[in-house]
Amino acid sequence: MSGNLAGTAGRLRRAGSSALASRPSALPPNVRQALSRLGWTVVSVGLFVGLWELAWLLGIADARLLPPPHIFLGNIPDQARFFNTATRWQIGVDAAAGPSPYEAVGITVAATAGRVFAGLAIAAVLSVTVGVLVRYFALFEKLTLPTITLLSPVSPIAWLPVAIFIFGIGNAPAIFMVVVALFFHMVLSTVSQIDGVNRNFINVGRTMGATKRQIYARVIIPAILPQMLIVLRLNLFGAWMVVLVAESTGVGFGLGQVIMLARNTFNPSLVFFTIALIGLLGFLTDWLLRQVQRRILYWVPQTTGVLRGL
Protein backbone atom coordinates (compact mmCIF):
# COMPACT_ATOMS: atom_id res chain seq x y z
CA MET A 1 0.00 0.00 0.00
CA SER A 2 2.77 2.41 0.86
CA GLY A 3 4.57 1.37 -2.28
CA ASN A 4 1.42 2.17 -4.19
CA LEU A 5 1.19 5.60 -2.63
CA ALA A 6 4.82 6.30 -3.28
CA GLY A 7 4.22 5.27 -6.86
CA THR A 8 1.42 7.80 -7.18
CA ALA A 9 3.55 10.46 -5.58
CA GLY A 10 6.34 9.56 -7.93
CA ARG A 11 4.06 9.90 -10.94
CA LEU A 12 2.82 13.24 -9.70
CA ARG A 13 6.34 14.47 -9.25
CA ARG A 14 7.36 13.24 -12.67
CA ALA A 15 4.40 15.00 -14.17
CA GLY A 16 5.53 18.18 -12.47
CA SER A 17 9.18 18.04 -13.40
CA SER A 18 10.71 16.00 -16.15
CA ALA A 19 14.20 16.97 -15.03
CA LEU A 20 13.68 15.12 -11.77
CA ALA A 21 12.36 12.07 -13.54
CA SER A 22 15.44 11.59 -15.63
CA ARG A 23 17.68 11.46 -12.58
CA PRO A 24 18.14 7.85 -11.49
CA SER A 25 17.59 7.26 -7.81
CA ALA A 26 19.55 4.67 -5.90
CA LEU A 27 17.06 4.42 -3.05
CA PRO A 28 13.75 2.56 -3.30
CA PRO A 29 10.76 4.91 -3.19
CA ASN A 30 9.47 3.86 0.25
CA VAL A 31 12.90 4.45 1.84
CA ARG A 32 13.10 7.82 0.14
CA GLN A 33 9.66 8.64 1.44
CA ALA A 34 10.55 7.64 4.99
CA LEU A 35 13.74 9.71 4.83
CA SER A 36 11.83 12.72 3.56
CA ARG A 37 9.32 12.38 6.40
CA LEU A 38 12.14 12.15 8.91
CA GLY A 39 13.81 15.15 7.35
CA TRP A 40 10.70 17.27 7.71
CA THR A 41 10.29 16.17 11.32
CA VAL A 42 13.82 17.40 12.02
CA VAL A 43 13.10 20.69 10.24
CA SER A 44 9.83 21.16 12.17
CA VAL A 45 11.45 20.53 15.54
CA GLY A 46 14.53 22.51 14.49
CA LEU A 47 12.38 25.52 13.72
CA PHE A 48 10.81 25.42 17.17
CA VAL A 49 14.19 24.95 18.87
CA GLY A 50 15.70 27.71 16.77
CA LEU A 51 13.04 30.22 17.78
CA TRP A 52 13.54 29.31 21.42
CA GLU A 53 17.31 29.67 21.16
CA LEU A 54 16.84 32.99 19.40
CA ALA A 55 14.60 34.20 22.19
CA TRP A 56 17.33 33.23 24.63
CA LEU A 57 20.01 35.01 22.57
CA LEU A 58 17.93 38.18 22.47
CA GLY A 59 17.39 37.96 26.20
CA ILE A 60 13.63 37.45 25.96
CA ALA A 61 13.74 33.97 27.48
CA ASP A 62 15.32 33.93 30.93
CA ALA A 63 17.63 30.90 31.17
CA ARG A 64 16.62 30.38 34.80
CA LEU A 65 12.93 30.03 33.90
CA LEU A 66 12.92 28.92 30.26
CA PRO A 67 16.31 27.35 29.68
CA PRO A 68 16.69 26.73 25.93
CA PRO A 69 17.40 23.21 24.60
CA HIS A 70 21.18 23.57 24.48
CA ILE A 71 21.12 24.10 28.24
CA PHE A 72 18.65 21.42 29.31
CA LEU A 73 19.99 18.92 26.82
CA GLY A 74 23.59 20.05 27.27
CA ASN A 75 24.31 18.00 30.32
CA ILE A 76 22.29 14.84 30.12
CA PRO A 77 24.24 12.91 32.79
CA ASP A 78 23.56 15.75 35.17
CA GLN A 79 19.83 15.53 34.47
CA ALA A 80 19.83 11.78 34.56
CA ARG A 81 20.98 11.86 38.19
CA PHE A 82 17.45 12.85 39.16
CA PHE A 83 15.89 9.83 37.51
CA ASN A 84 16.09 7.84 40.65
CA THR A 85 14.49 4.51 40.97
CA ALA A 86 12.81 3.89 44.24
CA THR A 87 15.63 1.94 45.87
CA ARG A 88 17.98 4.88 45.89
CA TRP A 89 15.52 7.09 47.71
CA GLN A 90 15.20 4.60 50.52
CA ILE A 91 16.71 5.57 53.83
CA GLY A 92 20.05 3.98 54.46
CA VAL A 93 20.78 3.35 50.80
CA ASP A 94 23.78 5.13 49.42
CA ALA A 95 22.86 7.74 46.79
CA ALA A 96 25.47 6.31 44.45
CA ALA A 97 24.13 2.78 44.81
CA GLY A 98 21.77 1.12 42.35
CA PRO A 99 21.62 1.70 38.65
CA SER A 100 23.74 4.26 36.85
CA PRO A 101 22.02 7.54 35.87
CA TYR A 102 21.45 6.35 32.30
CA GLU A 103 20.06 3.05 33.49
CA ALA A 104 17.79 4.99 35.81
CA VAL A 105 16.43 7.01 32.86
CA GLY A 106 15.83 3.76 31.01
CA ILE A 107 14.05 2.17 33.94
CA THR A 108 11.90 5.25 34.50
CA VAL A 109 10.92 5.50 30.86
CA ALA A 110 10.18 1.78 30.64
CA ALA A 111 8.05 1.93 33.77
CA THR A 112 5.97 4.84 32.47
CA ALA A 113 5.62 3.39 28.98
CA GLY A 114 4.63 0.06 30.50
CA ARG A 115 1.85 1.74 32.46
CA VAL A 116 0.66 3.57 29.35
CA PHE A 117 0.46 0.41 27.28
CA ALA A 118 -1.04 -1.70 30.03
CA GLY A 119 -3.71 0.93 30.59
CA LEU A 120 -4.34 1.37 26.89
CA ALA A 121 -4.66 -2.36 26.28
CA ILE A 122 -7.02 -2.89 29.19
CA ALA A 123 -9.11 0.14 28.23
CA ALA A 124 -9.32 -0.97 24.59
CA VAL A 125 -10.41 -4.52 25.34
CA LEU A 126 -12.86 -3.45 28.06
CA SER A 127 -14.45 -0.64 26.10
CA VAL A 128 -14.87 -2.54 22.84
CA THR A 129 -16.38 -5.44 24.76
CA VAL A 130 -18.76 -3.21 26.66
CA GLY A 131 -19.61 -1.21 23.55
CA VAL A 132 -20.50 -4.35 21.61
CA LEU A 133 -22.53 -5.70 24.53
CA VAL A 134 -24.44 -2.43 24.70
CA ARG A 135 -25.62 -2.87 21.13
CA TYR A 136 -26.01 -6.63 21.36
CA PHE A 137 -28.24 -6.76 24.43
CA ALA A 138 -30.92 -4.09 24.71
CA LEU A 139 -31.23 -4.68 28.44
CA PHE A 140 -27.49 -4.24 28.93
CA GLU A 141 -27.72 -0.91 27.11
CA LYS A 142 -30.56 0.28 29.33
CA LEU A 143 -28.67 -0.76 32.45
CA THR A 144 -25.26 0.67 31.58
CA LEU A 145 -25.31 3.32 28.89
CA PRO A 146 -26.83 6.13 31.00
CA THR A 147 -24.20 5.63 33.70
CA ILE A 148 -21.40 5.43 31.18
CA THR A 149 -22.58 8.64 29.53
CA LEU A 150 -22.88 10.28 32.95
CA LEU A 151 -19.33 9.35 33.93
CA SER A 152 -17.58 10.08 30.65
CA PRO A 153 -17.19 13.84 31.14
CA VAL A 154 -15.58 13.40 34.58
CA SER A 155 -11.97 14.55 34.46
CA PRO A 156 -9.44 11.82 35.20
CA ILE A 157 -8.04 14.12 37.92
CA ALA A 158 -11.22 13.49 39.88
CA TRP A 159 -10.49 9.77 39.82
CA LEU A 160 -7.03 10.26 41.29
CA PRO A 161 -8.07 10.09 44.94
CA VAL A 162 -10.23 7.09 44.13
CA ALA A 163 -7.25 5.40 42.50
CA ILE A 164 -5.16 5.96 45.62
CA PHE A 165 -7.97 4.90 47.99
CA ILE A 166 -8.46 1.65 46.19
CA PHE A 167 -5.04 0.76 44.90
CA GLY A 168 -2.71 2.61 47.24
CA ILE A 169 0.67 3.30 45.71
CA GLY A 170 2.40 1.49 42.88
CA ASN A 171 1.63 0.54 39.31
CA ALA A 172 -2.01 -0.26 39.87
CA PRO A 173 -3.33 3.28 40.50
CA ALA A 174 -1.44 4.66 37.47
CA ILE A 175 -2.83 1.96 35.20
CA PHE A 176 -6.27 2.43 36.69
CA MET A 177 -6.06 6.15 35.90
CA VAL A 178 -5.23 5.47 32.28
CA VAL A 179 -8.06 2.98 31.98
CA VAL A 180 -10.62 5.21 33.64
CA ALA A 181 -9.59 8.19 31.53
CA LEU A 182 -10.13 6.31 28.28
CA PHE A 183 -12.79 3.73 29.04
CA PHE A 184 -16.00 5.74 29.07
CA HIS A 185 -15.66 7.68 25.88
CA MET A 186 -14.16 4.73 24.07
CA VAL A 187 -17.33 2.82 24.92
CA LEU A 188 -19.43 5.64 23.48
CA SER A 189 -17.23 5.77 20.43
CA THR A 190 -17.54 1.99 19.93
CA VAL A 191 -21.32 2.27 20.08
CA SER A 192 -21.39 5.05 17.52
CA GLN A 193 -19.03 3.09 15.24
CA ILE A 194 -21.39 0.12 15.39
CA ASP A 195 -24.31 2.37 14.49
CA GLY A 196 -22.36 3.65 11.51
CA VAL A 197 -21.67 0.25 9.94
CA ASN A 198 -22.81 0.12 6.32
CA ARG A 199 -26.38 -1.29 6.31
CA ASN A 200 -25.61 -3.29 3.17
CA PHE A 201 -22.89 -5.23 4.97
CA ILE A 202 -25.36 -6.24 7.65
CA ASN A 203 -28.04 -7.07 5.08
CA VAL A 204 -25.60 -9.24 3.15
CA GLY A 205 -24.91 -11.14 6.35
CA ARG A 206 -28.63 -11.52 6.94
CA THR A 207 -29.44 -12.76 3.43
CA MET A 208 -26.62 -15.28 3.78
CA GLY A 209 -28.43 -16.66 6.78
CA ALA A 210 -26.04 -15.40 9.44
CA THR A 211 -27.25 -15.37 13.03
CA LYS A 212 -27.05 -12.24 15.16
CA ARG A 213 -23.90 -13.54 16.78
CA GLN A 214 -22.30 -14.28 13.43
CA ILE A 215 -23.21 -10.85 12.14
CA TYR A 216 -21.52 -9.23 15.13
CA ALA A 217 -18.46 -11.45 14.98
CA ARG A 218 -17.97 -11.65 11.22
CA VAL A 219 -19.34 -8.33 9.96
CA ILE A 220 -19.70 -5.64 12.61
CA ILE A 221 -16.45 -6.13 14.47
CA PRO A 222 -14.21 -6.21 11.39
CA ALA A 223 -16.15 -3.24 10.02
CA ILE A 224 -15.52 -1.06 13.08
CA LEU A 225 -11.91 -2.14 13.59
CA PRO A 226 -10.30 0.58 11.42
CA GLN A 227 -12.04 3.43 13.22
CA MET A 228 -11.41 1.82 16.60
CA LEU A 229 -7.68 1.71 15.94
CA ILE A 230 -7.75 5.39 15.05
CA VAL A 231 -9.62 6.10 18.27
CA LEU A 232 -6.98 4.11 20.10
CA ARG A 233 -4.19 6.12 18.49
CA LEU A 234 -5.81 9.40 19.46
CA ASN A 235 -6.28 8.13 22.99
CA LEU A 236 -2.64 7.13 23.18
CA PHE A 237 -1.76 10.77 23.74
CA GLY A 238 -4.46 11.00 26.39
CA ALA A 239 -2.90 8.01 28.09
CA TRP A 240 0.50 9.69 28.14
CA MET A 241 -1.04 12.77 29.74
CA VAL A 242 -2.94 10.90 32.39
CA VAL A 243 -0.13 8.60 33.39
CA LEU A 244 1.95 11.64 34.30
CA VAL A 245 -0.73 12.94 36.63
CA ALA A 246 -1.01 9.55 38.26
CA GLU A 247 2.73 9.22 38.70
CA SER A 248 3.16 12.65 40.15
CA THR A 249 1.32 11.47 43.25
CA GLY A 250 4.09 9.05 44.00
CA VAL A 251 4.03 5.60 42.54
CA GLY A 252 7.66 4.95 43.34
CA PHE A 253 9.20 6.04 40.08
CA GLY A 254 8.16 7.35 36.71
CA LEU A 255 8.35 10.41 34.53
CA GLY A 256 5.54 12.08 36.44
CA GLN A 257 7.49 11.72 39.61
CA VAL A 258 10.54 13.32 37.99
CA ILE A 259 8.39 16.27 36.93
CA MET A 260 7.11 16.66 40.48
CA LEU A 261 10.66 16.48 41.80
CA ALA A 262 11.67 19.18 39.32
CA ARG A 263 8.76 21.32 40.41
CA ASN A 264 9.53 20.94 44.10
CA THR A 265 13.22 21.69 43.62
CA PHE A 266 12.61 24.51 41.15
CA ASN A 267 14.56 22.86 38.35
CA PRO A 268 13.17 24.08 35.00
CA SER A 269 15.93 22.31 33.08
CA LEU A 270 14.76 18.99 34.45
CA VAL A 271 11.15 19.85 33.57
CA PHE A 272 12.03 20.58 29.96
CA PHE A 273 14.32 17.59 29.72
CA THR A 274 11.47 15.36 30.87
CA ILE A 275 9.02 17.07 28.54
CA ALA A 276 11.40 16.44 25.64
CA LEU A 277 11.63 12.81 26.69
CA ILE A 278 7.85 12.44 26.88
CA GLY A 279 7.40 14.09 23.51
CA LEU A 280 9.88 11.71 21.97
CA LEU A 281 8.19 8.71 23.57
CA GLY A 282 4.74 9.82 22.48
CA PHE A 283 6.04 10.31 18.96
CA LEU A 284 7.64 6.87 18.90
CA THR A 285 4.62 5.07 20.32
CA ASP A 286 2.34 6.81 17.85
CA TRP A 287 4.60 5.67 15.03
CA LEU A 288 4.53 2.17 16.44
CA LEU A 289 0.76 2.10 16.55
CA ARG A 290 0.59 3.44 13.00
CA GLN A 291 2.73 0.52 11.86
CA VAL A 292 0.44 -1.89 13.69
CA GLN A 293 -2.54 -0.20 12.05
CA ARG A 294 -1.04 -0.62 8.61
CA ARG A 295 -0.32 -4.30 9.22
CA ILE A 296 -3.73 -5.19 10.62
CA LEU A 297 -5.86 -2.94 8.44
CA TYR A 298 -4.40 -3.78 5.07
CA TRP A 299 -7.75 -3.07 3.41
CA VAL A 300 -8.14 0.54 4.51
CA PRO A 301 -7.20 2.87 1.67
CA GLN A 302 -4.79 5.67 2.51
CA THR A 303 -6.25 8.92 1.35
CA THR A 304 -3.57 11.44 2.26
CA GLY A 305 -2.32 11.30 -1.31
CA VAL A 306 -5.67 12.59 -2.52
CA LEU A 307 -5.60 15.52 -0.09
CA ARG A 308 -2.06 16.40 -1.16
CA GLY A 309 -3.34 16.66 -4.71
CA LEU A 310 -5.76 19.45 -3.79
Partner 1 sequence: MVCRGVSKTWAAGTARAHEALRDVDLDVAPGEFVVLLGPSGCGKSTLLYLIAGLEEATGGAIRSFRDAVDRPSPDRSLIFQETSLFPWLSVWQNVAFGLSIRGAPEEERRNVAREALARVGLAEAMHKRPDELSGGMRQRVAVARALAMRPKVLLMDEPFAALDVQTRAKMQDFLLDVWRDSGASVLFVTHHIDEAVALADRVVVFTARPGRIKSIVPVDLPRPRDPFSPECAHLRARLTGELRGEVDRAFAEQEALAGAA
Residues that bind partner 1 (CB under 8 A): 198, 200-201, 203-210, 214, 218-219, 222-223, 225, 298-301
188 near 148, Cβ under 8 Å? Answer: yes
**Residue 74 CA: distances (Å) to CA of 60, 69, 100, 112, 119:** 20, 7, 18, 24, 33
Ramachandran quadrant class, 210 (left: phi over 0; alpha: psi -120 to 50; beta: rest): beta
Asked if residues 258 and 270 have their Cβ atoms less than 8 Å apart, the reply is: yes
CB of 195 vs partner 1, minimal distance in Å: 18
CA distances from 217 to 128, 224, 292 (A): 12, 11, 21
Number of H helices, E strands in the chain: 16, 0
Closer by beta carbon to partner 1, 30 or else 203: 203
Minimum separation from the CB atom of position 5 to partner 1 (A) = 13
Tell me how far apart the alpha carbons of residues 177 and 164 are, in angstroms, rounded to a whole number: 10
Identify which of residues 173 and 205 has a Cβ nearer to partner 1 in the complex: 205
CA distance linking residue 192 with residue 282, whole number of Å: 27
Comparing CB distances to partner 1, the nearer of 54 and 204 is: 204
Pick between residue 165 and residue 299 the one whose CB is nearest to partner 1: 299
Task: Please state at what angle helix 221-248 crosses helix 255-264, rounded to 10 degrees.
Answer: 30
Distance in Å, CB of 216 to partner 1, minimum: 13
- Shortest distance, position 306 Cβ to partner 1, whole Å: 14
- What's the closest the beta carbon of residue 108 comes to partner 1, in angstroms? 40
Closest CB to partner 1 among residues 109, 128: 128
Residue 54 or 217 having the CB closest to partner 1: 217
Smallest distance, partner 1 to C-beta of residue 69, A: 45
Residues 6+ apart with CB under 8 A from 81: 101
